[in-house]
Structures are given as structure tokens and as C-alpha cells.
Amino acid sequence: MVGVSSEVTIDVLHCSYKTEELTHLSLGLNYARPNPSTLRPIKHRETQIQYHLKDINEKVKRQLTNYCKREPPAARMTHYSELLENLLRQHYMAPLSYVECMRTQREFKLVKSIQRKAQRATLIIRVCDKGGDLHIGNESDYERKAAKYREDTKAYQELSYNPLMEILTNVTKALNVLKNNKQLALKEYNPVTRPISDFLDELIRPIYDQYNKDNTIIDGVNLIKRLEKYAADDHLKPSTLFCTFDINNLYTMLPQDESIRILGDFLHHFVGERVKNISVTTIQKLAEIVLKENAFVYDHKFYKQIIGGAMGPPFTLTLANIFMWHWEKRWVCRQNNTSMMSSLRRTNRSK
């Protein structure tokens, strides 16, 4: 049996973590940890159950009231609350075997030790963007790298005010224009960009996946299968060259206006004028809202993104893929033309 664990990248001169603590960190986020609440007294666990039960019930009731515009049926809420309480009790009160109890105690102490050492040495432990591995670095190094990243990319503009109300106003106005012009059929909408980003991703990603599956490598297994087929089709020659390259800071280097234009070209090329009864022009306007009405807080300062898109929303990945589709298409066309010209030049020389 082969086990696969995350690697821990240590980016500090002096790491105070012991081998046992690093091994525990390398288990990664998907590791099924035992429930540490079983180590608490029953009275404490009962308090936690009631706290979470009340909190979840209030949130569910508030959401249902906001979306349905009326109070949810009392009988349904009572039944839901009973089911929820049973689940919470299973979570907090389920007894553990002696072995599991010892494991829980050991791992609980490990986690507490890791947290104490991180606080004492001002370390930051975070998940890497790619691969899911963990990275350990100094807080000061992260701040220095963040400042350098902002300086290198020029993608963020520092603001002297809180832009929240301005963004809400701009998004609301843009959505109202689309709604009044009957370009977007919405009974209700949330004037924040994340739901719009999710909507665009659900709308466009299937189109990209459908028409670019032959040009996309999903993972290592898919790469091996594609290479086997490539060789079976007698394309693999001793002179074959495989090239790989990576684009630094792709998300934050996407030109916003050009990316929106390329998005329109992509949809016109593969779908036409409308996607699920929504015009391409409307989709481009929604994409503009997602890209340009975007701000965040870092170190008690407000920033607005003026180049590229945020890394969190899924639509940014889809838009980046579409941008690369356009770039690759132009690059391949240029290479084909170059190869043809080279061939002609060689032919002319041979004559």
C-alpha cells in the first residue's frame, strides 16, 4: 500500500518543530482527525451542543425568511431542530474506544504544541495554492513578500476610504440597468460580486470543458494516458520535443478589458449570441462587474484590484483558461506560419 501525504515546506532559519509535529502537519487537511470534544467534560459538551443548535437554527430561519419572504412553518422547524440536535449529540457524545481516546489525547497535545510554537515565533502555517502542501514561514517574511508582490504586479490600488458602499452602489446600478433593459431575468439579486462570479462560472465553465477537453491535461494520470495514445498513433518520434512553461501571477496579470473582450470572442466562436437565453453582451457586463468591483482589506488598509481578477472566485480560473485558449490559438497559428516559412526557405535554398 502506498500512502500519499502532503509535504511541509519549512521557510525559516530555525524551526522549533519536532519530527513528530512535522509528521502530524504533513497529514494534511484531509486527514480524519478524532473528535477532540470527547476530552471535554459532559457539561461543557452539552453547552456546546446548545450553542451550535441555537446558532444554526437562527441562521437557517433567517435565510429561509429572507428568501421566502415569510416565516418558515413552525412544525418543520421543530422537526429540523430535533434532527440537528441528534446529529450534534452523535458528534459530541459518541464514546471512543481506549485506543481512539489515547490517539485523541496525543494529537490534541500535538496541535496545541504546534499552535503555541507558531504564536511564540510569529510563524504562519498555511496551505500552498498548488498541491495542497503546507508552508511554514515567518510573519515578517509574508508581509515583505506581500509588499513585493503588490509592487511587482501593480495590480492593487490602495484606497483612503472603505469602498464597500461604493461597490454595492455600482453593482446595484449595473444590475438594475440589465434588469430594466430585460437583458437579465432576475426577480431578486444579491448586489455582491461573489454570487455573480459563481453564476458565471456555472454558466461558462461547462462550455470551456466541452470544447477544450482535447487540449486540456487534467492530472498526471490523464497525461500518461494521452502520451500512450500519442505514441500509439505513431506521433512520438526521437525528434519530438515536449515543452512546458508557467505564467507567473496569471490571475493578477490578466488585462481586464482585453479578457472581457476575449470572453465574448470565445462565446461567439463556440456558442453564438446567447448562452442559456442570456446574451453574450450581458455576460460580458457581468464579468466586468466581477473583475472591476473588487476590493479587500489587508493590514487594516483597503485595496482595489485594477489588473486581473481575484484568486478566490471560481470564475477567475475559467476566465484565465479562456484567456490562455486565445493566447495558445494565436501562438500555434504563429508557429505554423513560422514553420511553413522555414520550410519554404529551405525549399528555395535546395533549388
Say if CB 7 and CB 26 are below 8 A apart.
Answer: yes
User: Hey, CA dihedral for 157, 163, 167, 169, is it positive or negative?
Assistant: negative
Using alpha carbons, list the distances in angstroms from residue 3 to 26, 31, 153, 264, 348: 12, 12, 39, 45, 59
- Using CA atoms, how far apart are residues 325 and 259, in angstroms rounded to an integer? 11
> Please, which pLDDT band fits residue 343 given cuts at 50, 70 and 90?
very low
Angle of helix 256-270 relative to helix 314-350, nearest 10 degrees, comes to 80
| pLDDT tens string 284-325 | 999 998 898 888 898 899 999 899 888 878 888 899 999 988
* Predicted pLDDT of residue 333: 77
| pLDDT tens string 238-247 | 888 887 777 7
Query: Chain-wide mean pLDDT for the chain?
Result: 84
Q: Examine the pLDDT at 154 and tell me if it is beyond 80.
A: yes
* Predicted pLDDT of residue 350: 39
Name the pTM for this structure: 0.66
| pLDDT tens string 115-147 | 999 999 999 998 887 667 888 999 999 899 989
- Using CA atoms, how far apart are residues 15 and 18, in angstroms rounded to an integer? 8
> Please, which pLDDT band fits residue 94 given cuts at 50, 70 and 90?
confident
| pLDDT tens string 177-225 | 887 777 666 555 555 678 888 889 999 999 998 888 777 787 788 888 8
Q: Examine the pLDDT at 159 and tell me if it is beyond 90.
A: yes
